[in-house]
């Protein structure tokens, strides 16, 4: 699991849609906190998508082996 909770903050300049920014402020949103949370979520999503693609062949090979040979300790399963 990728965790970013305890990382320090860094001031950053962003270009945001003026109307959206105004509405966010009217609604009382903390823009920095909201953008940080959404960006972290997107980074996690892209990280795991890339990880899955990078490891696709190994995962497919493992799944094929399990389909062919079964689970290694299957005979000890009680469910």
In a domain, 32, yes or no: yes
For residue 13, tell me if it sits in a domain.
no
pLDDT of residue 19: 98
42 domain residue, yes or no: yes
Is 74 a member of any domain?
A: no
6, part of any domain: no
Residue at 56 is within a domain: yes
79 within a domain of the structure (yes/no): no
pTM: 0.76
pLDDT-above-70 percentage for the chain: 100
Alpha helices in 3-71 (DSSP H): 18-26, 31-54, 56-69
How many CA atoms, within 13 angstroms, populate the side-chain half-sphere of residue 20?
6
Q: Which DSSP category does 8 fall into?
A: P
- Domain region containing 23: 18-69
Dump pLDDT digits (tens) for 33-70.
999 999 999 999 999 999 999 999 999 999 999 999 99
State the chain's mean pLDDT as an integer. Answer: 94
Instruction: Name which residue leads in pLDDT, 74 or 38.
Output: 38
The answer to whether residue 10 sits within a structural domain is no
**What's the total number of domains in the chain?**
1
pLDDT at residue 9, as a whole number: 94
């Amino acid at each position: 699991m990728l965790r970013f909770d305890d990382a320090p903050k860094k001031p950053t300049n962003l270009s945001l849609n003026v109307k959206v920014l105004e509405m966010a402020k009217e609604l009382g949103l903390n823009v920095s906190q909201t953008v940080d949370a959404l960006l972290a979520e997107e980074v996690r999503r892209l990280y795991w998508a890339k990880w899955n693609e990078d490891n696709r062949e190994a995962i497919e090979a493992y799944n094929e082996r399990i389909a062919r040979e079964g689970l290694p300790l299957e005979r000890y399963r009680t469910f």
